[in-house]
Amino acid sequence: MAKKPVNFTLNGQDRAAFADDGQNLLEFLRRAVGDLSPKYGCGQGACGACTVLIDGETQLSCLVLAETVDGKAVRTASGLAAGALDPLQTAFMEHFSAQCGYCTPGMLISARALLDHNPRPTRDEVIEAISGNLCRCTGYEPIISAILAVAEGRVRA
């Protein structure tokens, strides 16, 4: 099987790795690059656990061909804490927004993308932003509350 070199940035750092022919970005990140924060949920773009940012836009990494991120900037939940926790991470802890935690990296990325584009979202906009991310534990309300708390500046840095 042919392997293709992929040069990209992961959470701001230059990375290079070989992608298998047809390998999706989720497998590539987890197996070839070693970033385990994007999770495999359904493998068909229905659960959002594998959500990452590619050039600032949310993408489901299970549906993206790894080789297509060559030259692009990928961000994952493992890069959110740069020195200190991202306010979203703090808010998720304060609002008990994770239980089993499997959806959390995808939720955080979807929320980060929302706030990067729209720092003062309404509740409906928050709901829209996370509507592609399934959670089976929390009932969503604590996640919505955490994101709104960050948007409204109610989270200590």
Which parts of this chain interact with another protein (CB under 8 A)? Answer: 41-42, 44, 46-47, 96, 98-101, 126-128, 130-131, 134, 136-144
Q: How far is the CB of 152 from another protein (least distance, A)?
A: 18
* CA distances from residue 37 to 15, 30, 61, 93 in whole angstroms, order as listed: 16, 8, 12, 17
Closest contact distance (angstroms) between CB of 20 and another protein is: 24
Angle between helices 87-94 and 104-117 (to 10 degrees): 130
Query: 140: alpha, beta or left, given left = phi > 0 and alpha = psi -120 to 50?
Result: left
Assess contact for 55 and 72: CB atoms under 8 A: yes
As a whole number of angstroms, the distance between CA 103 and CA 13 comes to 25
Residue 17 or 50: the one with the smaller Cβ distance to another protein is 50
Kindly tell me which of 6 and 144 has the beta carbon lying closer to another protein.
Answer: 144
Please, what is the minimum distance in Å from the beta carbon of residue 44 to another protein? Answer: 6
Based on CB atoms, which residue is closest to another protein, 8 or 92?
A: 92
Q: With CA atoms as reference, report the closest residue to 51 among 145, 127, 120, 114.
A: 114
User: How far apart are alpha carbons 73 and 111 in whole angstroms?
Assistant: 18
Give 33 or 148: the residue with its C-beta nearer to another protein. Answer: 148
Least distance in angstroms from the C-beta of 94 to another protein: 10
For another protein, the closer of residues 10 and 147 by Cβ is: 147
| In the complex, least distance from residue 143 CB atom to another protein, rounded to whole angstroms | 7
